[in-house]
A and B are shown apart, each in its own frame.
Chain A
Amino acid sequence: MHELSVCQALIGQVEKVARENDARRVVAIVIAVGPLSGVEAGLLEHAYPVAAAGTLAEHATLTVETVPVRVRCRSCGAETGAQANRLVCGDCSDWQVDVIAGDEMLLMKVEIETAPAAVH
């Protein structure tokens, strides 16, 4: 439900990068999202064109990389995959684990187009 707000924040970050690099437009955006971030990849993709309209990123493609949940066990030290609602060690089933991936909501890459170099 809050994916449009997240997309608007994303566009803000992307436009900042674009301006800093004298971009004429943004071609592609890559973001990484984990299930524990509280946003849904499909809804982000759906909200994206609305948030991007009229910005430098209007025609950019959005790629959402889904980051699987991984936990590190405080008892046995194993690093295993886990489900968002079952954050337990995959090896020894202990529930005292630290989440080491799967809660991120990150802008990873921005592909920009700058004006063609002047012909000499």
Chain B
Amino acid sequence: MCRDCGCSLGPAATRAPLAAAPSTPGRTDTIEVITAILGENDRVAAHNREHFDAEGVLALNLMSSPGAGKTSLLEATIRALDGRLKVAVIEGDLATENDADRIRACGVPAVQITTGNACHLDAQMVHDAVHDLPLAGLDVLFIENVGNLVCPASFDLGQHRNVTLLSVPEGDDKPAKYPVMFRAADLSLITKTDLLAYITEFKVERAHAALRQIGFGGETIELSNRGGEGFAAWLGWLEREVAAQRERTARGATARPAIQPEGAAVHAAGRPTR
């Protein structure tokens, strides 16, 4: 089973105590802290964002389930851009260089992060990958996260925008099943729309409604990697975001994905939550 959550270790109750507690009691104190548990990851993510901003690079975090078409989207995007934007890719997978090889075959630099058993990328992994990737002169850095609709949503990588993919074969109720992931998106792409003719049970309107129900307030584009109207809209979004990033960098500003942990801010202000 998964080494990351410790689930192979059996129920806690059956485990022997690791060691005896110290027997001489001292003085006990309770310290109120109220800090983000992932504070260290957030610190490294902010540092990554500074690197990206220093070079004026737009960083996008691509998230979806495995097989929704993240790598194919990148291949088609690189081909369609035809050098108009300078692109590099960080690929996250449990194993293999396959995806980075596919991107390199398109003539674009790529660094593969293999996470072993880890189910998501974190800010430190991206930081290490960026050291192998010259950022100077780039317009867009795509970070293709590990295919997973759960864990990647909890880790800031230093990206400016989150893009999630929902492919037609997955079903139009995916946002309702994985609300945390889809809520984190700035742009939601409904991919493989060329399959709508065969998978008639997928209703684009129902996917939109499911996104609204989880408080998704961003843009949605339906597209097929095989071209068409939606693909042009995606390239348009990309070019607008690159222009916005250049404008921000020129005035020393930055951007973070739309969803901020507002609950954390409420706690920090000392307001009760129940």
Contact = CB atoms under 8 A, between A and B. Distances in A.
Contacts of B179: 36, 84-85, 87
Contact of B4 (A5, A45, A107): A5
Given A1-B2, A4-B4, A109 B273 contact: no
A85 B213 contact: yes
Nearest to A34: B263
A1 B5 contact: yes
What is the interface residue range for chain A against chain B?
35 or more
What is the interface residue range for chain B against chain A?
35 or more
Contacts, number: 198
Nearest to A14: B33
B154 interface: yes
A104 B27 contact: no
B37 A105 contact: yes
A116 B26 contact: yes
Contact of B214 (A27, A87, A112): A87
Contact of A39 (B119, B154, B183): B154
A4 to B, nearest CB: 5
A77 to B, nearest CB: 16
A49 B6 CA distance: 9
A90 interface: no
A106 B150 contact: no
Helix, strand, loop or mixed for chain A's interface?
mixed
B29 A1 contact: no
A32 B155 CA distance: 17
Contacts of A104: 261, 263-264, 266-267, 273
A101 B154 contact: no
B32 interface: yes
Contact of A24 (B4, B26, B40): B26
B129 interface: no
Given A4-B5, A108-B32, A49 B12 contact: yes
B267 A107 contact: no
A6 B33 contact: no
A115 interface: yes
24 contacts: A2-B5, A2-B151, A5-B4, A13-B33, A37-B180, A38-B151, A38-B180, A43-B5, A50-B9, A70-B273, A87-B179, A87-B214, A95-B212, A95-B213, A100-B263, A105-B264, A106-B35, A106-B36, A106-B267, A109-B30, A111-B28, A111-B31, A112-B28, A117-B27
Closest A-B pairs by Cβ, 5 of them? A2-B151, A87-B215, A104-B263, A38-B154, A85-B179
Interface of A: 1-6, 9-10, 12-13, 17, 21, 24-25, 27-28, 31-32, 34-39, 43, 45-47, 49-51, 53-54, 58-59, 67-68, 70-71, 84-88, 95-117
